[in-house]
Amino acid sequence: MASTRGAAEKAQVLVASNRGPVSHHVGEDGSLHVRRGGGGLVSGLSAIGPDADSVWVCAALGDGDREAVRRAAGGLLPAADTGGQRVRMLDIDATVHAEAYNGIANSVLWFVHHMLYQTPLEPVFDAGFRRQWASYEAYNQAFAEALAQEAAEGAAVLIQDYHLALAPRMLRRLRPDLRIGHFSHTPWAPPDYFRLLPDDIATELLTGILGADRAAFLTQRWADAFKDCCHRVLGPGIPSGTRIGVHGLGADADFLRKRAHEPDVAERMAALREEIGTAPDGTARRTIVRVDRTELSKNIVRGLLAYEQLLEDRPEWREKVVHLAFAYPSRQDLAVYREYTAEVQRVADEINERYGTPGWTPVVLHVKDDFARSLAAYRLADVALVNPIRDGMNLVAKEVPVVSDEGCALVLSREAGAYEELGEDAYAVNPYDIGGTARALHEALGMPAEERAERSKRLAAAATALPPARWFLDQLEALTGQPS
């Protein structure tokens, strides 16, 4: 598979992230088929135009087999399928990748920033952890070297997320001429929690990111937490060479509204309506919708328990409401995720057994990832339930009000980044408070239609204030000092 430009040509804009911008499958003849993925970064990078000299450096594509991609594409993917830019997938040893990604990034850093450790899931910093840490360093070094190789003199490099906290400093050493940005898509832990990490590791993570010219976050709250950690762990705090920025990513209204009105979405709406059914008195059933990766931070089980409590405490809603809960498996290499996935299923089944009737399934749980069906549920939503324990932003909270046909009420965790922008028109919940969440669901379901439509309009306006392309260009501009 040929790239549209020569391998020797250097890039002016580089993006680095664990997962690249495409998903793929390998055909029976060994040929590689790639499909452009979604998300803010992908739309953002396309916004700089197909002629821009850009490259995306990654270590994985979709959930597929990294080895097969390397064999089929030689590590370089055709620009045509990826929004116009080259994609370079790094040849990182499978064990190093697994230890860096599953071991450190997803089992340690994700848990620290989302404050997910609790008995019996405790931090373990033993010899095994140190081995994984060495892999995390090697993984970051591989990115730094590839970026140093691909970047033109003075190029802008945008490094993404907790997988790559060390890469900015490593790259700075190799290429002091570059403008380096780091962006955290997660929350940042407050100092008391961050300091669960061994001191040397905490220092390496912070100084790694401080190797960038700019470290940016989704909300002021996460940026402040990062600054607090720097002060507490490093003493002098943020060096004068590093600026801290905040860019809140919004929903892509144009894309979502168009996509939500395509025929496959209409088909899925019809199928969902069948599953929802009609109340015994002939009225339409209300819907509470949630769409998440099956992820501990998303707090799906407590969401289900809150719904159960609603049915228990407010029998008037029985037979009149259906909870559409879409929980798409994620990170299934990790036992704790597999167990959580099973628990979600078990709790949903229990609620259905306890309250269901021949004509009413209280929880409709779907676990097979299907974007068209998610959009169909968004369109049918009366209430959106978004109750994460902590979340960098949470785009579902922003997307449902944009897409819902009749306007929806939003029950939103105050610990989601989106709360800073949407809090005024949402029902705020403490994600641990099951009773409080049940009460919020009751109020949201009972909101008069007119008020709901008005609030939903305001939510949609706030949710789309910073579309992905602008979000990306603002970062680039802030890094280079040039309007893009």
The distance of closest approach from Cβ of residue 295 to ligand G6P in the complex, given in angstroms and rounded to an integer, is: 8
x/- site string to ligand G6P, residues 193 to 232, per CB under 6 A? ----------------------------------------
Q: Which of residues 136 and 427 has its CB atom nearest to ligand G6P in the complex?
A: 136
Among 388, 392, 407, 467, binds ligand G6P (CB under 6 A): 392
Among 86, 114, 175, 185, binds ligand G6P (CB under 6 A): 185
Q: Which of residues 18 and 219 has its CB atom nearest to ligand G6P in the complex?
A: 18
The radius of gyration computed from the CA coordinates of the chain, to the nearest angstrom, equals 23
How is residue 195 written in tokens? 């300091």
Is there a contact between 390 and 187 (Cβ–Cβ < 8 Å)? yes
The distance of closest approach from Cβ of residue 162 to ligand G6P in the complex, given in angstroms and rounded to an integer, is: 7
With CA atoms as reference, report the closest residue to 176 among 206, 144, 201, 138. 144
Residue with the closest Cβ to ligand G6P? 185
Q: Which of residues 208 and 362 has its CB atom nearest to ligand G6P in the complex?
A: 208
How is residue 159 written in tokens? 């490094």
Asked if 186 interacts with ligand G6P (CB under 6 A), we say: yes
Q: Which of residues 61 and 269 has its CB atom nearest to ligand G6P in the complex?
A: 61
Q: Which of residues 175 and 331 has its CB atom nearest to ligand G6P in the complex?
A: 331
Distance CA 438, CA 436 (A): 5
With CA atoms as reference, report the closest residue to 188 among 225, 219, 214, 163. 225
Distance CA 74, CA 324 (A): 42
Q: Which of residues 150 and 161 has its CB atom nearest to ligand G6P in the complex?
A: 161
Strands in 329-396 per DSSP E: 363-366, 383-386
How is residue 405 written in tokens? 């046909």
Asked if 398 interacts with ligand G6P (CB under 6 A), we say: no
The distance of closest approach from Cβ of residue 113 to ligand G6P in the complex, given in angstroms and rounded to an integer, is: 9
Distance CA 411, CA 395 (A): 14
Q: Rounded to whole angstroms, what are the CA distances from 448 to 83, 278, 454?
A: 43, 20, 10
HSE-up of residue 61 (Cα within 13 Å, Cβ side): 32
The distance of closest approach from Cβ of residue 17 to ligand G6P in the complex, given in angstroms and rounded to an integer, is: 7
The distance of closest approach from Cβ of residue 479 to ligand G6P in the complex, given in angstroms and rounded to an integer, is: 19
Distance CA 136, CA 97 (A): 8
Distance CA 305, CA 442 (A): 14
Asked if 19 interacts with ligand G6P (CB under 6 A), we say: yes
Q: Which of residues 388 and 407 has its CB atom nearest to ligand G6P in the complex?
A: 388
The distance of closest approach from Cβ of residue 393 to ligand G6P in the complex, given in angstroms and rounded to an integer, is: 7
> What DSSP state is assigned to residue 285?
P
Task: List the interface residues with ligand G6P, window 306-365 (CB under 6 A).
Answer: 330-331
The distance of closest approach from Cβ of residue 163 to ligand G6P in the complex, given in angstroms and rounded to an integer, is: 7
x/- site string to ligand G6P, residues 142 to 171, per CB under 6 A? -------------------x----------
Distance CA 1, CA 21 (A): 17
Which residues here bind ligand G6P, judged by CB under 6 A? 18-19, 106, 161, 185-186, 330-331, 392
